[in-house]
Amino acid sequence: MKVFLKIGSAVLFALFLITATSCSRNTTPPSKATAAPNKSANPFQGKPEAIQEGQNMYRSYCSGCHGGSGHGGKCPDLTDDLWIHGGADEEVFLTINKGVSGTEMRNFEVGLKPEEIWKLIAYIRSIAAAGGESAWKPFEDGDAAHGKALFSDAKGQAQCYRCHMVLGEGGRIGPDLSRIGAKRTPDYILESIVKPSADIVDGYLQFTVTTKNGTETIGYKKNEDNFTMQLISTEDELVSLEKSDIASVSTNKNSVMVEGLEKLLSKKELHDIMAYLKTLNGKPASK
């Protein structure tokens, strides 16, 4: 455990350096075969001063609809990988410059110069979901195929698949990991494995709900309104409750994922699982 914690803090520091100096992300989508990998059309990509200017513009011009943190509001989330009008730099530029007819997205060419739009894009890229590269590389030595076997082994120590789904197979107690490799840094994935309660993903906070007749359900909220609540229980059941039948609801600070997986698995096995998770990008594995 201590070893991992040490690695963790070194990694966090490295991560800090990365976020402070560069913001490279998958700015060119895989579909754009013509664009060189990791080469951006944006002359301001990753430039801190431009990003700062971009932030000012973002706040004033964009946040009203796309939210102060870019997570969307009425208008689309700008921090995920879904780009309705195209995610390549040139496409995002076009969307901002010309607007989208029939929506509230206006043509910003009326007020912004091209270089200002590029700075805005540099900022938008900088707030996009964590991803990118990490200084922590041991997973590269791992055997992804073996990691996959460990992930799915019904008799193994990890049995990840019981709670996590990958491309339609597995449980639904924990988050779907089909795109985890594209979405999260290795450091984050590692932290999630050895310290599952350190950061519980939105929507997976566990609740204990006791009804007036004494039935107890532990699970995360799938939905809630003023009169009902729906949970996915740790038994993998969808439980729907009328609030008028509920006696108490309490929040559990700890993840339901077991602590101490690093003691149950060898370092090699952990690296193998990491290597497997890093391959998960939402697409079926290539043959």
- Give the residue with the Cβ less far from another protein, 78 or 88: 78
Residue 71 near another protein by CB under 8 A: yes
Residue 75 near another protein by CB under 8 A: yes
CB of 247 to another protein, least distance (A): 17
- Give the residue with the Cβ less far from another protein, 33 or 110: 110
Stretch that binds another protein, among 42-50, 71-79, 87-95, 210-218 (CB under 8 A): 71-79
Residue 251 near another protein by CB under 8 A: no
**Phi, psi for 86 (deg, rounded to 5):** 100, 135
Stretch that binds another protein, among 63-71, 118-126, 208-216, 250-258 (CB under 8 A): 63-71
Residue 183 near another protein by CB under 8 A: no
Question: What value does the CA radius of gyration of the chain take, rounded to a whole number of Å?
Answer: 22
Residue 245 near another protein by CB under 8 A: no
Residue 65 near another protein by CB under 8 A: yes
Stretch that binds another protein, among 96-104, 145-153, 166-174, 185-193 (CB under 8 A): 96-104
**Phi, psi for 126 (deg, rounded to 5):** -70, -25
Q: Which amino acid is at 213?
A: N
Stretch that binds another protein, among 17-25, 65-73, 118-126, 248-256 (CB under 8 A): 65-73
Residue 59 near another protein by CB under 8 A: yes
Residue 104 near another protein by CB under 8 A: yes
- Give the residue with the Cβ less far from another protein, 35 or 127: 127
CB of 60 to another protein, least distance (A): 4
Of the candidate residues 7, 77, 135, 241, the single one contacting another protein (CB under 8 A): 77
Q: Which amino acid is at 82?
A: L
Residue 108 near another protein by CB under 8 A: yes
Report strand pairing: 206-211 vs 246-252: antiparallel
Measured distance CA(81)–CA(60) in Å, rounded: 23
Stretch that binds another protein, among 117-125, 176-184, 186-194, 224-232 (CB under 8 A): 224-232
Binding site for another protein (CB under 8 A): 56, 58-61, 63-69, 71-75, 77, 99, 101, 104, 106-108, 110-112, 202, 223-227
